[in-house]
């Protein structure tokens, strides 16, 4: 029992002074009636009091000390429970009271002083534990941010983790103690990325993620100030891509893909035929496919629009899926467990075999959009095929799914791809070519 000052309560009955013994302490005389509370004062040691109380069958005997520090009023503290170690025996209680009374004669309130010492020690221990839990360097903080925030809240958290691993943690900023980080340190990192390493859009992405990590840390009191605050986004370094593959380039890439093994071959064709985002296609699952209705339902959790998105499957796309073996949940997979992950190597092969350079997988999406526009597909329908966000009012009040319009648009695009690819496309050539003479 920790020593504590006596709490205000009804005054107990104080019995006669008695020279306490262990035998007396265990006698019936020290057992009060149910609901009662009694006190006895020790004759042998000044200030030692035994308080006994009883509630039903529970009997509590507590040692108290009464003392008056020099120049102060009388005080009372509970110093422990009576009983065998680690509780206070009679002799241990007497020794404790002697120390308290002796200190009081010198003007020292020993119980209060010790209580304050314990409070300070506990506070220091908490501070040490908190310091041990706090990140020490910028790299430590970034690891904590990814583990505790990004993984739980971001679908593409691995991109953030990779960005920190490649561009921040190995640098002087990453190794710097948090308490020493200044705004100039962050600016120096961004300058190096832009001027020495030649990055453009990546510079602003690194800035945004560092800023977010520091803001997250401030909310959780891991740091006091954000050294990245006030650092502005760099203008004029992000160039919007407008690359659209020509018919010759698209034909060359398609024919290069024709020589690949599965699932690489079908993945490239699916990117071209659907016009959807790279990872949305790459991570396609069989549970999302309804071949009977020729619909691919991209769930909200897996797309940038954060809403379920129905993509009609053109006959060529349906034939492609029907021909693929089902090795597991992912459609495009090598081991049956994980989605296809060899995009870097795939791109190198396509570049080499097609002879086309300066393009990205995302250009398939822009090419599909441009191709549908050339076929007189209305822009509103193209936007819905690509799952672009609509204006607030349009998105709120117009709940029509445009499924027929999207199907016609994707069928027309598949026919156009078949025409471009020529004899190299067996599956797509099963679809008859129909010219579009009027807008869809």
> Domain spanning 247-430: which superfamily?
Intergrase catalytic core (1.10.443.10)
**What are the domain boundaries of the chain?**
4-130, 138-219, 247-430
Rg (Cα) of the chain, in Å, rounded?
39
pLDDT at 399 > cutoff 90: no
pTM of the model: 0.54
Multiple choice CATH, 138-219, 3.30.70, 1.25.40, 4.10.640, 1.10.150: 1.10.150
Name the average pLDDT for the chain: 86
What is the predicted pLDDT for the residue at 294?
A: 95
pLDDT at 289 > cutoff 50: yes
pLDDT at 398 > cutoff 80: no
Question: What is the share, in percent, of the chain residues with pLDDT greater than 90?
Answer: 63
What is the predicted pLDDT for the residue at 413?
A: 96
Predicted confidence (pLDDT) per residue in 28-67, tens digit: 888 888 888 899 999 999 999 999 998 888 889 999 999 9
Indicate if 247-430 has the same CATH topology as 138-219.
no
Residue whose token pair is 């995302």: 362
| Segment 11-16 long-range contacts (CB within 8 Å, at least 24 positions apart) | 12/37, 12/38, 12/39, 12/51, 12/53, 13/37, 13/38, 13/39, 14/38, 14/39, 14/40, 14/41, 15/39, 15/40, 16/40, 16/41
| Preceding amide of 292 cis, omega within 30 | no
What is the predicted pLDDT for the residue at 424?
A: 41
Nearest partner of 191 among 234, 238, 137, judged by Cα: 234
d(Cα 213, Cα 357) in Å, to the nearest integer? 36
What is the predicted pLDDT for the residue at 83?
A: 75
């Amino acid at each position: 029992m920790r020593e504590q000052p006596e709490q205000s309560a009804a005054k107990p009955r104080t019995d006669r002074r008695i020279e306490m013994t262990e035998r007396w302490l265990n006698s019936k005389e020290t057992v009060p009636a149910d609901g009662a509370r009694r006190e006895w004062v020790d004759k042998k040691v000044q200030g030692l009091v035994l308080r006994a109380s009883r509630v039903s069958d529970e009997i509590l005997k507590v040692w108290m000390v009464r003392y008056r520090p020099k120049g102060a009023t009388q005080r009372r503290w509970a110093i422990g429970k009576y009983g065998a170690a680690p509780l206070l025996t009679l002799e241990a209680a007497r020794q404790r009271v002697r120390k308290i009374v002796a200190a009081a004669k010198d003007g020292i309130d020993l119980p209060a002083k010790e209580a304050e010492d314990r409070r300070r020690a506990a506070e220091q221990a908490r501070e040490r534990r908190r310091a041990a839990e706090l990140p020490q360097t910028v790299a430590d903080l970034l690891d904590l941010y990814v583990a505790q925030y990004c993984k739980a809240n971001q679908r593409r958290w691995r991109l953030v983790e990779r960005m920190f691993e490649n561009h921040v943690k190995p640098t002087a900023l990453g190794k710097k103690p948090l308490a020493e980080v200044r705004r100039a340190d962050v600016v120096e990192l961004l300058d190096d990325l832009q001027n020495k390493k030649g990055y453009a859009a990546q510079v602003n992405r690194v800035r945004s993620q560092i800023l977010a990590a520091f803001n997250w840390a401030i909310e959780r009191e891991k740091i006091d100030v954000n050294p990245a605050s006030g650092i502005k986004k760099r203008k004029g370094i992000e160039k919007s891509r407008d690359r659209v593959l020509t018919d010759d380039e698209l034909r060359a890439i398609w024919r290069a893909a024709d020589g690949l093994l599965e699932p690489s071959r079908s993945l490239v064709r699916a990117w071209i035929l659907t016009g959807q985002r790279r990872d949305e296609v790459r991570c396609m699952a069989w549970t999302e496919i309804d071949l009977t209705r020729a619909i691919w339902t991209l769930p909200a959790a897996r797309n940038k629009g954060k809403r379920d998105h129905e993509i009609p499957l053109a006959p060529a796309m349906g034939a492609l899926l029907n021909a693929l073996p089902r090795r597991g949940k992912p459609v495009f997979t090598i081991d049956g467990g994980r989605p296809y992950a060899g995009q870097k190597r795939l791109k190198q092969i396509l570049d080499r075999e097609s002879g086309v350079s300066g393009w990205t997988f995302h250009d398939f999406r822009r090419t599909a959009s441009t191709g549908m526009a050339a076929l007189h597909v209305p822009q509103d329908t193209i936007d819905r095929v690509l799952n672009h966000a609509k204006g607030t009012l349009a998105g709120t009040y117009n709940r029509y799914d445009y499924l027929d319009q999207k199907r016609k648009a994707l069928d027309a695009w598949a026919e156009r791809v078949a025409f471009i690819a020529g004899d190299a496309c067996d599956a797509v050539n099963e679809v008859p070519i129909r010219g579009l003479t009027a807008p869809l």
